[in-house]
A and B are shown apart, each in its own frame.
Chain A
Amino acid sequence: AQTVTQSQPEMSVQEAETVTLSCTYDTSESNYYLFWYKQPPSRQMILVIRQEAYKQQNATENRFSVNFQKAAKSFSLKISDSQLGDTAMYFCALSKTSYDKVIFGPGTSLSVIP
């Protein structure tokens, strides 16, 4: 069975600072996909970043980057230069293939403080 764990229910960061959200997962697959989704108060699910497990290089998307440690089954999200619009629930997620079901973690509520 695949599981995703996020150990930080809530976090806060000052505007313009950097914050890292933690995620660990478990899977028996050798290749898989990892995601971070953002859910603002509107409750829309927005893909922030994705990582394919067979790729060594950590994914980056503008101010968002990941630290993917395959052996440790760890997938953390770093947000640089935090903005007020980054305030949201962040979900770490996992799927076996790009079209398989996505398993979500419990989420981390991030507040960006002006």
Chain B
Amino acid sequence: EPEVTQTPSHQVTQMGQEVILRCVPISNHLYFYWYRQILGQKVEFLVSFYNNEISEKSEIFDDQFSVERPDGSNFTLKIRSTKLEDSAMYFCASTDWTGGRGKLFFGSGTQLSVL
């Protein structure tokens, strides 16, 4: 089965530093997402991306966050100035929407620790 690939699997950073989380969605997929999960809590939607622009974002996705699809394969999430509360597992996901039968594929996540 095709996979969404995320790198790195773990990222440790100092508060105030910029981080970029990287994702390679499945090649024929058109819709891309970032979700996060603080340890022990539910999975929360951050942002969706389609046709090279943000289609929806949550309240969590403030000016400190940005997404980019710099080429035909990568999809990145940047946090400009990390805070302690940004520590979480970040999941990338993609789907192709095959007439309503599309399946959302999740990557294995990047665990971000802000010290």
Contacts and interface: CB of A to CB of B under 8 A. Distances in A.
A68 interface: no
Interface stretch (B11-19, B77-85, B101-109): B101-109
B100 A101 contact: no
Contact of A98 (B89, B91, B93, B100): B100
Contact of B91 (A45, A52, A99, A107): A45
Interface string B20-32: 0000000000110
Contact of B42 (A42, A97, A99, A105): A105
Contact of B95 (A91, A98, A106): A98
A21 to B, nearest CB: 15
Contact of A44 (B30, B56, B104, B108): B108
A9 to B, nearest CB: 11
Interface of A: 42-47, 50, 52, 91, 97-107
18 contacts: A43-B37, A43-B89, A44-B108, A45-B91, A45-B106, A46-B106, A52-B100, A91-B42, A91-B43, A97-B100, A98-B101, A99-B31, A100-B48, A100-B56, A101-B58, A102-B104, A106-B42, A107-B42
Interface of B: 30-31, 33, 35, 37, 41-45, 48, 50, 56, 58, 89, 91, 93, 95, 97, 100-104, 106, 108-109
